[in-house]
Structure 1
Amino acid sequence: MPEYPIINGIPPARARLGARIRDLIEASICIQEDKADLTKAADQIEAITKALQAAGGARPLLLAALEDGGHLSINNPLEGPANPLAPPLSWKHIGAEKVEAEVLLGPAHEGPPGRVHGGWVAAVLDHVLGRATAAAGYPGMTASLTVDYHRGTPYAVPLTAEGRLVTRDGRKLHATAELKAGETVCASAKAILIHFAPDRFPSASTPD
């Protein structure tokens, strides 16, 4: 198995920093220019950024060992608590039959007015599809992804993403997923993933 840095548990300080930067991104998008000194704010952020850059040099992939024996990539762009780009996803169920996650997207993810950008919808579905095949025992990488957008996906409301492995044909994995607001299906996806050896990358897991 390749050597990846693994730490025990999710570092609280990293998770807090990611959350605060996530708040900053949203605040900067929704700011009213006549009510804030943007130049002063930019100077303060620049100073903090330089201080963090001075401590840089680490690889972006950092795995946290979980109590159940699985691993979580804490900088993952969809579920990593330390990554400000991540919504992040919160897993409600991970099992061999299906996986289910809750995700709360915000103004930073807006595409059409009041709706989530389709690229973010596709990213969430792709991530859930990958987790579904891994949970079924066949971790894989996406070879093709088809997304059907049934209606606009709202943001600032809890969304549920579900995924499942449908069939396996050799190394080809066929999986489906849905993104819902309440009981309304906003988008659905089907994908073909290519199975790789499970010891190539330690997969994350969350207890049911």
Structure 2
Amino acid sequence: MPQSDIEGSIPFRWFEEAPADGYRNDPDVRHAYTSMIDAVRRFQDAVAGSVPPPGVSHQIEAALARMVDMIAPFAVGEDRQLFNRVLEVSGRAQSFTPEIVFDHSDTDEVQARVVFRRFHLGGGGAAHGGAVSLVFDSLLGGLANSGRSRSRTVHLEIDYRHITPVDTELTLFGRVVEEKGRKRYLTGSLMDGDTILAEANGLFLALLPGQQ
């Protein structure tokens, strides 16, 4: 599989994936799809950090339209999609949330690393607060489901302590604080060395049988 921008990673099961059809499980299909998503990430960063002349913008627009036409015949339903479902790679084959690379994980605690890229820039060299929130929701939501039944985010509160820099390797921590019936309370932090950049508190609710 294509490699993350951050060196090293250990497997982390975000949730138990539903059985997939043979084609979606084909290693060549998964590898090629993940490589395509890596290229999408690079393109997003390039777009965010450039101001091309009109002629180039129009050429890129036309090229993107051709790509949409190329991929359209292969549209699938949610139950068969690969986007955000390739769990064995750090980015899960999605281009929405920054890649999270795990250094330690069990059912109660995780430690990981993340880099906010140019695409996630808000302004003044700082990552957009929404991107930080996305990372926490992904991290804590995955931990809430690790070794447990599926759950959904009910409440997520973020305290922004310092500016979160882009293009810098940062450390993430997540922990299950308490479980009460269907309710799962988790906490997390984002750090640059010894500096706390942001902290999160989340409540996740286990799904009832038949809920999705």
Which TM-score bucket, shorter chain as reference?
Answer: 0.7 to 0.9
**CA RMSD of superposed structures (Å):** 3.0
Deviations 1:17-74 (A, max 9, x none): 0011111111112124249722222212221221111x2321245588xxxxxxx823
Matched, 1:80 2:105: no
**Would the alpha carbon gap of residues 99 and 197 (structure 1) be closer, same or farther in structure 2, given more than 3 Å must change?**
farther
Shift of 1:178: 0.7
The amino acid that maps onto 1:44 is: A
Match of 1:16 among 35, 56, 65: 35
**Secondary structure class of the residue paired with 2:122:** coil
Matched, 1:123 2:134: yes
Q: Map of 1:135-174 to 2, 5 A cutoff?
A: 135=146, 137=148, 139-174=150-185
Partner residue in 1 for 2:125? 114
**Secondary structure class of the residue paired with 1:191:** strand
Deviations 1:107-143 (A, max 9, x none): 1111132101111111111111112222353542111
Deviations 1:93-115 (A, max 9, x none): 21123012222111111113210
Counterpart CA distance in 2 for 1:200 and 1:74 is 22
Partner residue in 1 for 2:66? 47
Matched, 1:59 2:74: no
Contact residue 174 and residue 190 of structure 1 kept, 8 A: yes
Structure 1 residues not aligned, in runs of 5+? 65-71, 202-208
Contact residue 5 and residue 63 of structure 1 kept, 8 A: no
Aligned length: 190
Matched, 1:175 2:186: yes
**Quick one: percent identity of the two aligned structures?**
21
TM-score by length of 1: 0.78
TM-score by length of 2: 0.77
Counterpart CA distance in 2 for 1:186 and 1:120 is 13
Structure 2 residues not aligned, in runs of 5+? 1-15
Counterpart CA distance in 1 for 2:79 and 2:187 is 27
**Would the alpha carbon gap of residues 36 and 152 (structure 1) be closer, same or farther in structure 2, given more than 3 Å must change?**
farther
